[in-house]
Amino acid sequence: MGHSIPMGTQLGVGTAERAKTDATSIPWTIWCMVAGIASGMVGGIWDISWHMSIGRDTFWTPAHIAIQMTGVLVGIACGYLILSATFGGESAARETSVKIWGFRGPLGAFIAVWGCVAMLTSAPFDNWWHNAYGLDVKIVSPPHTLLSLGSFAIKVGALALMAGLMNRASEALRQRLMWLFAYVGATAVAQAGLILTQPTWPVYMHGASCYLAVAIGIPAVLVGTAWGADNKWACTRVAAIYTAILLAAEWILPLFPAEPKLGPVYQHVTHFIPLRFPLLFIVPAVVLDLLWNKVGEWKRWRLAAVTGAAFLMSFVAVQWPFANFLMSPAARNRIFGMAYFGYFDPAGFLYNPYAFVAAEKTRGQFWITMAVAVVAAMITSRLGLAWGDWMRRMRR
């Protein structure tokens, strides 16, 4: 790959100036955004564990603060990018920016700033919600939805910003950015997976509704970030980092003490309770990389149809038998985490937590739902390909 233009370099500059400004290091603004996203990822997983282990005692928990630090750190980085492009004297920043409401800056920075506002707004909204309606243990609630939308917008903005930089950068800088791009993509997949926690709980993994939920929520994010990276093993890289994040959470959280502060208490909890073993997205990710390396030039709808079907069929093929293992005594240990239950969970008292629940009442309903899941996976894969193509074209 020949010389291309990194962030902050004016288009059309001369050879001497280009050589002088050809960056080989990642801008501090990117590091600041990635740090904010990492803080939010840790805080989000920690907060869910906090609710399962302790309960919601106050808004000012370390987990909540870590989540809101995403908005602060990303806001600082994007605010600098926008203000320096708008009021700074350098024409280089203006050449690689767009103009919105009189301000100039990279498009990704504007998207991320919206996410910051949404995240920070969700904080008092969440506090008011609990004061008005009481405590809850649901992942999906109005304030959590606003928080999740803001968090996802930040990731979209960060990916767009990095994509624009990678598309203008030298090969050395592009390769360094690729890992950060994959990490942010993995946090987006993890966020989508957390939203789908309830319909994809192990007891539902022998029902078609579980795989319909995955088909609706995952391919757009996984396919989009991997396709946007335009790298031979990008999908595998994203899924591997996603797996590493959730495994680290599952294995590290129980090392720290915690006990319930609310009732009723059904489980004897003495340490933080992790969520669960990660879904096996790594297998369909490898399948998609192998597929794309052979048919990547197909028309997009044709590619989406094959991508969606390959993703869902390979995921079902590995997750269905793995669910049998998860429900067995062999998985009730620190490695696979099937012996952990939130303090409020009446598992073993009111129901059998190791028995599959049939979401579909008849075999016909099962196969209809599974067919709908295949179609949904194709549609969401098409959305992911469109998002990825948009990032491949990103320049400013």
What pLDDT, on the 0 to 100 scale, is given for residue 4? 35
- Check pLDDT > 50 for residue 50: yes
Q: pLDDT grade, residue 16 (50/70/90)?
A: very low
pLDDT digits (tens, 9 = 90+) for 238-249: 999 999 999 999
Q: pTM of the predicted model, to two decimals?
A: 0.88
What pLDDT, on the 0 to 100 scale, is given for residue 104? 83
What pLDDT, on the 0 to 100 scale, is given for residue 237? 96
pLDDT digits (tens, 9 = 90+) for 104-148: 888 888 999 998 888 878 767 666 666 666 655 555 667 778 888
Question: Residue by residue, what is the 3-state secondary structure of the chain?
Answer: CCCCCCCCCCCCCCHHHHHHHCCCCCCHHHHHHHHHHHHHHHHHHHHHHHHHHCCCCCCCCHHHHHHHHHHHHHHHHHHHHHHHHHHCCCHHHHHCCEEECCEEECHHHHHHHHHHHHHHHHHHHHHHHHHHHCCCCCCCCHHHHHHHHHHHHHHHHHHHHHHHHHHHCCHHHHHHHHHHHHHHHHHHHHHHHHHCCCCCCHHHCCCHHHHHHHHHHCHHHHHHHHHHHCCCCHHHHHHHHHHHHHHHHHHHHHHCECCCCCCCCCCCCCECCCCCCCCCCHHHHHHHHHHHHHHCCCCHHHHHHHHHHHHHHHHHHHHHHHHHHHCCHHHCCCCCCCCCCCCCCCECCCECCCCCCCCCCCHHHHHHHHHHHHHHHHHHHHHHHHHHHHHHHCCC
What pLDDT, on the 0 to 100 scale, is given for residue 8? 39
Which residue in the block uniquely carries the two structure tokens 């233009």?
Answer: 5
Average pLDDT estimate for 304-319: 97
Average pLDDT in the chain: 86
Average pLDDT estimate for 272-294: 95
Asked which of 19-33, 207-221, 271-285, 334-348 is least confident by mean pLDDT, the reply is 19-33
pLDDT digits (tens, 9 = 90+) for 180-233: 999 999 999 999 999 999 999 999 999 999 999 999 999 999 999 999 998 889
What pLDDT, on the 0 to 100 scale, is given for residue 3? 36
pLDDT digits (tens, 9 = 90+) for 344-394: 999 888 889 999 998 898 999 999 999 999 999 999 999 999 999 999 988
What pLDDT, on the 0 to 100 scale, is given for residue 356? 94
- Check pLDDT > 70 for residue 15: no
